[in-house]
Amino acid sequence: MSASLTEARLDLEAIRRDFPILSKPLPDGTPLVYLDSGATAQKPRVVIDKLVEVLENYNANVHRGIHTLGDRVTVELETAREKIQHFIGAGSPEEVIFTSGTTASINLVAHGWGRKFLKPGDEVLLTDMEHHANLVPWQIVAQATGARLRFIPLASDGMLDLNRLDDLLTERTKMVAITGMSNVLGTVPPLREITERAHARGALVLVDGAQSVPHGQTNVRDPRIDFLAFSGHKMFGPTGIGVLYGRRKLLLAMDPMFGGGNMIHEVFRDHSTYAEPPAKFEAGTLPIVEAIGLGTAADYLSGFSFDAIHAHEQRLVQRAFTLLNQIPGVRILGPAPDGTRGPIVSFTVEGVHPHDLADLLNRRGVAVRAGHHCTMPLHEQLGIPATARASFAFYNTEAEVDALAAAIRYARSVFKLE
């Protein structure tokens, strides 16, 4: 039975039993302390079982075969679409496009909308902390259309400097593309304020929800978001599946990014007419099993109180700040743990390269990520080439935060810094 709860506090023992990998030691027998959910989250048993169920019982292609298996898998996939619709508060399932992930979703908007509507002199407003997935596509499209990229800067505390927003938002701004949570700093931008001010200038808003959607209630109609992109594997679902939400009016106006089967209405020798969304943007065979698994992950996550998840993850962040700040040479990046930042703690240890640090932590069973985290401009601005990152999920415990701190001290001792 699932550990779904709606109480203020989570039953961590029950939750951890839902995730088989968390109880499995590493090959050398060391217990696993998994603190890399920002890269990919672990999967609960219900999702794993759903994937096996599809493959064993009704594996077939969707929207094609007029036979029992084809009918069953099509119903399951469209049911998953409806689950995602309700999970993010979309107005209809037709506004939910299945993609391969956040990167594909943002590229779909950049190329399908941006190449069609951006003109020389138009502007796309980003932030200084965007993931490459929400930067490089806009660079490519800006070069192709003559549009210009502008950036909301960071303040010294790791928050966005919104004092500059009125200067940056002009009649030339056509799109504001912004992360829902920084994958390095844990910064959570004030989306309501930004979307309201962007819409007042006539600009659209795209939110990169890869990090934010798994950790908080998302409603694309409050505040009104025009596009939302997120990945299944970061919200306890399979890899290879993601979602693009778009307001129906915008999806109808956009060009498809890929052509082929399933996305057409009629095909002639010299031109084609396209199906309406979502089919218009789902050329070829979808990641069917993965999409159905994502629906199950949304069901699983919906069984918990996001308030309880947030409160628990904030306790983990607070503890990490307390313990890591007691270790000499540790520098934590991003805003203070005031209850608003996300469950991501990136840091450096003086005298230890982040890659060496991650390797030494792994010897103690602590899995973190090291590198520039696909945010090279941000790291250049911070004056460091790389960081180590611990990213928490609602299945992590305070004891695992203690293990992180102990492993950092071990790493410092190896380098004779302790």
Supply the residues annotated as catalytic.
374
CA distance 355 to 349: 11
- Nearest residue to 213 via CA among 87, 29, 24, 350: 87
Task: Give kind and range of the element (H or E) at residue 354.
Answer: helix 354-363
CB 245 within 8 A of CB 220: yes
φ, ψ of residue 19 in degrees (nearest 5): -110, 100
Instruction: Supply φ then ψ for residue 352, to 5 degrees.
Output: -130, 120
Task: Give how far the C-alpha of residue 115 lies from the chain's centroid of Cα atoms, to the nearest Å.
Answer: 24
Structure-block tokens of residue 64: 């094609």
Q: What angle do CA 371, 369, 394 make, to 5 degrees?
A: 145
CA 309 to chain centre: 16
Residue 30, SS3 per DSSP: coil
Distance between CA atoms of 163 and 158, rounded to whole angstroms? 14
CA dist 151 and 28 (Å) reads: 47
Would you list the DSSP string of 292-358? HHHHHHHHHHHTS-HHHHHHHHHHHHHHHHHHHTTSTTEEE-SS--SS-S-SEEEEEETTB-HHHHH
Q: How many C-beta neighbours within 10 Å does residue 240 have? A: 18
- Give the other-Cβ count within 10 Å of 192's Cβ: 11
Antiparallel, parallel or unpaired: β 264-267 and 387-391: unpaired
* Residue position matching structure tokens 């939110």: 207
Q: Are 333 and 375 in contact (CB under 8 A)?
A: no
Contact 246, 95 (CB under 8 A): yes
